[in-house]
Amino acid sequence: MTGPVPSSRRGPSKRPLSAHQLDALRLVALGKTHSYLAREFGIDSKSVGKLMTEVFRKLGAANAPNAVLLACRAGLLDVSPPAVQSSELLTARQHEALLWTARGCTAHEVVDRMGVSLDTVRWLLRTTHRRLGARTATHAVALAMARGLITATDIAEPPHGRESAAGDREAPEPHPDHQRPPSGHTATRTAPAATTPKEAAA
């Protein structure tokens, strides 16, 4: 399945986020875990789960990365952009994988949309997190938005580089760990054995 997906899988609630919920989302956007939130707010992990579920419901988000994108787009989160270095910029494929993640797609859904293997998607996201200095997928989305690598308009446009003007999908690039045969190696074909007149008569 190709093409853009909706910015959320359910409509957002008309109720605004509370200060407590916004604080929780801001910490998640900074890469903090549910265990950290539990300690910070003095609640148990089950209550943290309920808190984040309510945040997702109010924003109409599919998951935490999607919630960060929607909250930033709505002006609810203001992440100060750090200095950008050229070495931190993402490749087109890394950007595409992260953008699908920001739209609420799971790794398996990104596989379907990019036409690559699950290992490749995981590798792309792992290297994306490393380049951005992110601790989690949600943190990566927040950092990418802070740097302007993902913008509010991205949510309504298909990711770049995957479809031609005619709508044909590009052939997926091989996984970086894919082993190619050594250079100069050519397949050899064995010529069929010659048939003798006696064998032909038989």
The pLDDT tens digits of the residues spanning 136-149 come to 999 999 988 888 88
pLDDT of residue 147: 85
pLDDT of residue 82: 52
pLDDT of residue 41: 85
Determine the distance from the C-alpha atom of residue 172 to the mean position of all C-alpha atoms in its chain, rounded to a whole number. 16
H or E element that contains 92: helix 92-102
Strand partners, 163: 169
pLDDT of residue 167: 38
pLDDT of residue 108: 95
pLDDT of residue 1: 42
Strand partners, 169: 163
pLDDT of residue 35: 92
41-75 b/e (C-beta count within 10 Å ≥ 16 → b):
eeeeeeebeebbebbbebbbbbbbbbbbbbbbbee
pLDDT of residue 80: 57
For residues 117 and 178, the answer to whether their CB atoms sit within 8 Å is no
How many helices (H) and strands (E) would you count in the chain?
9, 0
- What is the residue type of 115? G
Query: Which residues make Cβ contacts (< 8 Å) with residue 140, sequence separation at least 6?
Result: 65, 98, 101, 125, 128, 129, 132, 134
| DSSP character at residue 191 | P
pLDDT of residue 40: 86
Intervals of the chain under pLDDT 70: 1-14, 79-88, 155-202
Nearest 5°: CA angle at 101, between 96 and 104?
135
